[in-house]
Amino acid sequence: MRKNEILEEVWRNRDEFAREHNYDLDAMVAALQEMEKHPLTKVVDRRRKKPEKTTKKRKQ
C-alpha cells in the first residue's frame, strides 16, 4: 500500500497547529479568525449558485 504524502503533510500541519494552541478549540478558532483578517487572504465560496436568468430580447 502506497502512503499518501499529501494527506500525511496535511495531518502533520493540523497536528502542529493544534499543539501550538494547546489543543484549545477556542484558541484555534481565534487564531484562524485572525488569519482571515490578513489582507492577502482570499476566501473562496465554492457553493454552487443558481445562474441568473437574463431576459434579453432577440431581434426578429
Q: Which residues 6+ apart lie within 8 Å of 18 measured at CB?
A: 28
Say if residues 21 and 28 touch (Cβ distance below 8 Å).
yes
Give me 53's grid cell.
436568468
Q: What are 2-27's pLDDT values in tens digits?
A: 679 999 999 999 999 999 999 999 99
Could you tell me the CA-to-CA distances from 20 to 2, 6, 8, 14, 41 in Å, in that order? 30, 21, 18, 10, 21
Residue 1 has pLDDT above 60, yes or no: no
pLDDT at position 60 is 60
59: left (phi over 0), alpha (psi -120 to 50) or beta: beta
Place of cell 493544534: 18
